[in-house]
Amino acid sequence: MTNSIGDALENATSDASLAHSRQVSEKIEAGIKKDPSQFRMLTGDRPTGNLHIGHYFGSLKNRVRLQQAGVDSWILVADYQVITDRDGVGPIKDRVYSLVTDYIAVGIDPEKATIFAHSQVEALNQLMLPFLSLVTDAELRRNPTVKSELEATDGRPMSGLMLTYPVHQTADILFCKANIVPVGKDQLPHLEQARVIADRFDARYGRLPGSKDPIFPRPQALLSEAEMVLGLDGTKMSKSKGNTIELRMTADETAKLIKKAKTDADRHITFDPVNRPEVSNLLTLAGLCQNRDPRVIAEEIGDGGGGTLKKVLTESLNEHLAPIRTRRAALESDPVYIQSVLHAGIERATAQAEETLNEVRTAMNMVY
């Protein structure tokens, strides 16, 4: 059984698994249009730095869309996960508040969404103990994320928190009984792990007296079809590389960064992601801002060269982000409000986590 589960985790991103996940996602999208109230979404970010346009186009816009469609939205600030792969937390308090500020600025409605930090929800973290009893060391080490982190340590010991990272993520998902999690294909193994733990808990401990339903729903991946946005140098967007445009930056700062963006020597602008990744990435960004096909934008620029392309992108991106930046500036001037949003979310999350933990203890016959 362990080997088959390990195989399932390793193969969660295979072509066959990916095709199945896409079919499930299409059904979920159809279900949302019909009755969004049947879904609860869990999503979130680690507060390791400021959010940038990669986060915005890759996931934040989709979260806003799902909330506006009527999906019950739970948004996690995964502050404990900051210490899975680093020795300190850095200016974490400022980063947590910055994250919440960005969420609201891009359009997340705190009156409808539950925004919380999982370090503040004790009952959520206590679920880790029974969940850890439902997985094996071998399964955890075969999780693709854990494997890649282990390889990246270059022989250095991996922390226990990093090893059990998939279980902690499962606790984040299952405590609020989320049944959909928007993810990219690389995160599919985490959803598989969450389903494994939900199934094993049901098989081992059963259900609440008189209930026909498992305590935990099996969470499904809602695959994101968002464009992959690269950094301004044509490589993966990363704060450490300095190739990002943060949501909090000014229009002038944005213009200066785009001016330094990498293109190529060919003045005729074409959309060719394989042979011209840097130029095509800038066109993709412009297309996302204008909601237009990047190929059409390339044709319009023609022989205008990289300078014209950068000008088009600068104007498009600054215009697109202007309302977000205006809201963000207003929010930054009211830190008491940001704190109140976070505290309200933590209160709601705590109530849900305590209810779930009580159900778990009841099923385990541990209510004394």
For residues 268-297, give the mean pLDDT: 95
Tens of pLDDT, residues 245-274: 999 999 999 999 999 999 999 999 999 999
**CA nearest neighbour of 246 among 305, 325, 157, 167:** 325
**CA nearest neighbour of 352 among 123, 135, 15:** 123
Residues 222 and 235 sit within 8 Å (Cβ to Cβ):
no
Q: Do domains 2-226+335-363 and 239-332 have the same CATH topology?
A: no
CATH domain 239-332 topology: Tyrosyl-Transfer RNA Synthetase (1.10.240)
3-state secondary structure the chain: CHHHHHHHHHCCCCHHHHHHHHHHHHHHHHHHHHCHHHCEEEEEECCCCCCEHHHHHHHHHHHHHHHHCCCEEEEEECCHHHHHCCCCCCCHHHHHHHHHHHHHHHCCCCCCCEEEEHHHCHHHHHCHHHHHCCCCHHHHHHCHHHHHHHHHCCCCCCCHHHHCHHHHHHHHHHHCCCCEEEECHHHHHHHHHHHHHHHHHHHHHCCCCCCCCCCCCCCEEEECCCCCCECCCCCECCHHHCCCCECCCCHHHHHHHHHCCCCCCCCCCCCCCCCCHHHHHHHHHHHHHHCCCHHHHHHHHHHHHHHHHHHHHHHHHHHHHHHHHHHHHHHHCCHHHHHHHHHHHHHHHHHHHHHHHHHHHHHCCCCC
**Length of the chain as a residue count:** 368
What are the extents of the domains in the chain?
2-226+335-363, 239-332
For residues 305-324, give the mean pLDDT: 97
CATH: 3.20.20.70, 2.40.50.100, 3.40.50.10490, 3.40.50.620. Which one for 2-226+335-363? 3.40.50.620
Q: Among 5-14, 99-108, 155-164, 203-212, whose mean pLDDT is lowest?
A: 5-14
What confidence score (pLDDT) does residue 86 get? 72
Look at residue 20 and tell me whether its pLDDT is greater than 60: yes
**CA nearest neighbour of 56 among 173, 185, 188, 226:** 226
What confidence score (pLDDT) does residue 2 get? 57
What confidence score (pLDDT) does residue 236 get? 85
Q: Among 58-67, 152-161, 195-204, 288-297, whose mean pLDDT is lowest?
A: 152-161
For residues 347-362, give the mean pLDDT: 98
Tens of pLDDT, residues 27-75: 999 999 999 999 999 999 999 888 999 999 989 999 999 999 999 999 9
Residues 91 and 284: their CA atoms lie apart, in Å, by 33
Q: Calculate what percentage of the chain has a pLDDT beyond 70.
A: 95
Residues 118 and 312: their CA atoms lie apart, in Å, by 41
Tens of pLDDT, residues 128-169: 999 999 999 999 988 888 888 777 767 678 889 989 999 999
Q: What angle do CA 207, 208, 211 make, to 5 degrees?
A: 85
Q: Among 49-58, 104-113, 220-229, 317-326, whose mean pLDDT is lowest?
A: 220-229
What confidence score (pLDDT) does residue 3 get? 59
For residues 354-358, give the mean pLDDT: 98
